């Protein structure tokens, strides 16, 4: 896999753009965020060394669901759609870690939905929901 470097505060992925690869963090950390319907930035979490992001684009080809910004200088490995498809065809068990990430994030999302339902949409006082601690666990 090829690697690419990003500097602190550089946008790696922009929400809504088309994606065709995933990234694995070799060095550094990144912030994952979304823009709320009110136009505010909502931080979903921070990812660090050996974590993957952008993996949904490898599977469904839909636009990016969140933005990712370098919190410090980063070195990222790029997993292209071609690499993903090759692994799926020739070494499918190598993709299990990606599916584990997807399942973990789905479970976190379901926990977040449950929390929001229990709170009946209450806000944390400033109009935004406190989701950072749940979203990317």
Structural domain containing residue 33: 3-121+130-135
- What pLDDT, on the 0 to 100 scale, is given for residue 135? 52
- Hey, what are 47's tokens? 């990812």
pLDDT at 128 over 80: no
Q: How many Cα atoms occupy the beta-carbon half-sphere of 77 within 13 Å?
A: 12
**Tens-digit pLDDT profile for residues 85-97:** 999 999 999 999 9
Closest CA to 45 of 114, 90, 112, 103: 112
Q: Tell me how far apart the alpha carbons of residues 135 and 112 are, in angstroms, rounded to a whole number.
A: 7
Closest CA to 105 of 56, 70, 68, 62: 56
CB 48 within 8 A of CB 25: yes
**pTM to 2 decimals?**
0.80
- What pLDDT, on the 0 to 100 scale, is given for residue 45? 92
- For residue 123, what pLDDT band results from cuts at 50, 70 and 90? low
Instruction: Give the residue with greater pLDDT, 125 vs 25.
Output: 25
Q: Tell me how far apart the alpha carbons of residues 116 and 6 are, in angstroms, rounded to a whole number.
A: 35
Question: Per the structure, how many domains does the chain have?
Answer: 1
Assign residue 30 the CATH number of its domain: 2.60.120.10
pLDDT at 136 over 60: no
**Tens-digit pLDDT profile for residues 34-60:** 999 999 999 999 999 999 999 998 889
β-bridge mates for residue 30, sequence order: 47, 70
For residues 22-31, one letter each, b for 16 or more C-beta atoms within 10 angstroms of the residue's C-beta and e for the rest, the string is bbbbeebebb
Q: Tell me how far apart the alpha carbons of residues 34 and 32 are, in angstroms, rounded to a whole number.
A: 7
pLDDT at 6 over 50: yes
């Amino acid at each position: 896999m090829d690697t690419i470097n990003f500097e602190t505060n550089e946008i790696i992925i922009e929400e809504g753009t088309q994606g065709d690869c995933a990234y694995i963090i070799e060095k550094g950390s990144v912030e994952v965020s979304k823009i709320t319907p009110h136009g505010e930035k909502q931080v979903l979490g921070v990812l660090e060394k050996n974590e993957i992001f952008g993996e949904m684009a490898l599977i469904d080809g839909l636009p990016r669901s969140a933005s990712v910004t370098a919190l410090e200088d980063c070195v990222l490995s790029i997993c292209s759609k071609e690499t993903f498809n090759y692994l799926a065809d020739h070494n499918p068990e190598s993709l299990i870690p990606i599916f584990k990430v997807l399942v973990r994030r789905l479970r976190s999302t379901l926990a977040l939905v449950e929390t929001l339902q229990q709170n009946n949409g209450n806000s944390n006082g400033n109009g935004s929901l406190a989701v950072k601690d749940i979203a990317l666990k």
